[in-house]
Structure 1
């Protein structure tokens, strides 16, 4: 199972997946969103993308952040976090002024740049096809830049605010898919059968180079395993710490039911077989994101209702559950994550990202 990791500064709050990817890093959900969508759509490497699911929703509810734990994530000069009730507002401590930008993909040009030369060499496009490929490349850059522009500007420290931020992030990803999908389909439709086979083979070659991992099996296993978190609900601790009234207990039961429904919804939407073509894989990305959005909205509505019925003291106790719960999982060994970004990202951009992850 994935779990909470400590960063080198001693703070909790890096929610990590079974395969080593990060669901939450500091205040940001899905830090390498465009990488993961791109890797699966273009190359068929689906493990990182399909790892996202119910456990990330659970992590959004039971985040381990205390009010002052995120100082290192704040930009220089001060985006004020949204503080839970009964906690005083404070001036944002000085920190790296590009931290949030880095997490959201400051070098989105490197992330989104299609391997034009590699594709042209493989398919030998005519003028019409080359123009369509250029349109696809431009759309890819625009989608990545728009996704970065939708980066959250506030650090959300309450459970409802975190799920709201999560919803906005997924909506931005869906918008990015909508930008890339038409030019990708147009380009692919202009190819003859031999060219399509060569383009599809680029992704197969990339996956075969990933230490012998099977993209199909990792996709199915990752997706299914990411929906198992319902049993992790700290129901007894919530009961003991919050001491809910009858009305609150009814809302809590509704929240747990909504979470179970979201987990089942996401599990049933797992794709058992690998899509063969880039357009089909991008379509699968869009469908999965829409299901994830539906799941988040389902849980968020129930969470807002429950949280709104709590007193300030109860809210503080609810938020503190994440801190205590994280202490039982933070000691798990770290997992190394791999990507096939060598096909489309600059060396400088990758070095900056790996250094940042290793800090």
Structure 2
């Protein structure tokens, strides 16, 4: 986890996220969850949304190409997973460390086991590889000053993202979407912090230096591709939704038995979810940006659309959720964990058991 070279490999981060996402499951549940991304990672790990967010932003902005796959893999499926979380309380409690000041599994304990996936504000681990850039472009004095400023603000940006690490468990769908909204707001703030300095530094480079920076990115991509056996990188947010992401209308009806007023709000929630999916699909353009300034701008636009989509769904969810009785809320929250349990196969459970033994924070 503290190997910065390894963490700059998107595939390596995806493997860590996959192990962390299933390590806390109880009763043999595990396997490939329905909320898994196409690159193998997970958008949700227990109470945490978007692990390694700072790496995903910087990797895409600086290197582009296959490095953008983790960033562009986030979308509507994560909002869906926020509403219908696969984690029950016992599963979430695994991510909280026992403390003398709070009982194990207490909702008020800070999830220190996830802190390194939230973000890191130390200069030697934040995603922006300043030393590699310096070696590649051989900056002039003015360029070196701009690069030093970029290094400084990248640490500040990482601090913004780290500050949005969850400090308590969100046990309800509205709470999870609130946590998701807070995380995306912090990422947008990080982009706004880095973007002016990145624009200034890049504008000071001559054509030869820009070519060297591009070549450095291509070299980094070749190294990672070689480690992956030269398998193609899936870099798209515009993909067909798996069957598991189908709106669970029948299950909601059977479990909650809503009255007419609740059905009207439920229909509004379903409509808001569909509109959010359409918004994110329309805003998918991972291959259009060709320079670091253009890519950081594209990242900011994508995050802004994600924030709008989350807020749209969260408002409709709040209207619906507020009409539910305590029993109905409990039934609604059980949809995700029940679906995950039913979808597991014995061989997946065995693979999970091996991962659980091997994984530690």
TM-score in terms of structure 1 length = 0.81
Other-structure match for 1:30: 50
Task: Summarize the Cα distance change of 1:230–1:247 in structure 2 as closer, same or farther, 3 Å threshold.
Answer: farther
Quote how far apart the aligned CAs of 1:67 are.
2.6
Quote how far apart the aligned CAs of 1:57 are.
0.4
Other-structure match for 1:340: none
Q: Is the 8 A contact 2:160 2:187 kept in 1?
A: no
- Alignment partner for residue 290 of structure 1, among 304, 319, 324? 304
1:6 partnered with 2:22: yes
- Provide, for residues 40-90 of structure 1, a one-character-per-residue CA deviation record: whole Å limited to 9, x for no partner: 01111111111100000000000133233322212443898xxxxxxxx99
Output the CA distance in 2 between the equivalents of 1:293 and 1:8.
28
- Alignment partner for residue 281 of structure 1, among 283, 295, 318? 295
Q: Is the 8 A contact 2:77 2:245 kept in 1?
A: no
- Alignment partner for residue 62 of structure 1, among 78, 81, 84? 84
- Alignment partner for residue 260 of structure 1, among 251, 274, 280? 274
Task: Summarize the Cα distance change of 1:199–1:275 in structure 2 as closer, same or farther, 3 Å threshold.
Answer: same
| 2:43 aligned counterpart, secondary structure | strand
Other-structure match for 1:352: none
Q: Is the 8 A contact 1:77 1:92 kept in 2?
A: no
1:225 partnered with 2:245: no
- Alignment partner for residue 197 of structure 1, among 203, 211, 214? 211
Quote how far apart the aligned CAs of 1:116 are.
3.1
- Provide, for residues 229-282 of structure 1, a one-character-per-residue CA deviation record: whole Å limited to 9, x for no partner: 795111101001100000000111111111111001101111052421111111
Alignment of 1:130-169 (within 5 A): 130-169=144-183
Task: Summarize the Cα distance change of 1:102–1:210 in structure 2 as closer, same or farther, 3 Å threshold.
Answer: closer
1:126 partnered with 2:146: no
Output the CA distance in 1 between the equivalents of 2:268 and 2:100.
37
Quote how far apart the aligned CAs of 1:208 are.
2.6
1:103 partnered with 2:117: yes
Quote how far apart the aligned CAs of 1:141 are.
1.1
Quote how far apart the aligned CAs of 1:145 are.
1.6
Output the CA distance in 1 between the equivalents of 2:281 and 2:188.
19
Other-structure match for 1:50: 72
Output the CA distance in 2 between the equivalents of 1:357 and 1:161.
28
Other-structure match for 1:350: none
Which stretch shifts more, 227-236 or 188-197?
227-236
Output the CA distance in 1 between the equivalents of 2:311 and 2:318.
10
Output the CA distance in 2 between the equivalents of 1:273 and 1:225.
15
Output the CA distance in 2 between the equivalents of 1:154 and 1:79.
14
Q: How many residues align?
A: 325
- Alignment partner for residue 77 of structure 1, among 95, 99, 124? 99
Output the CA distance in 1 between the equivalents of 2:329 and 2:88.
13
User: Unaligned regions of 5+ residues in structure 1, if any?
Assistant: 81-88, 335-354
Output the CA distance in 2 between the equivalents of 1:105 and 1:226.
30
Q: Is the 8 A contact 2:110 2:166 kept in 1?
A: no
Which stretch shifts more, 250-259 or 90-99?
90-99
Quote how far apart the aligned CAs of 1:99 are.
1.3
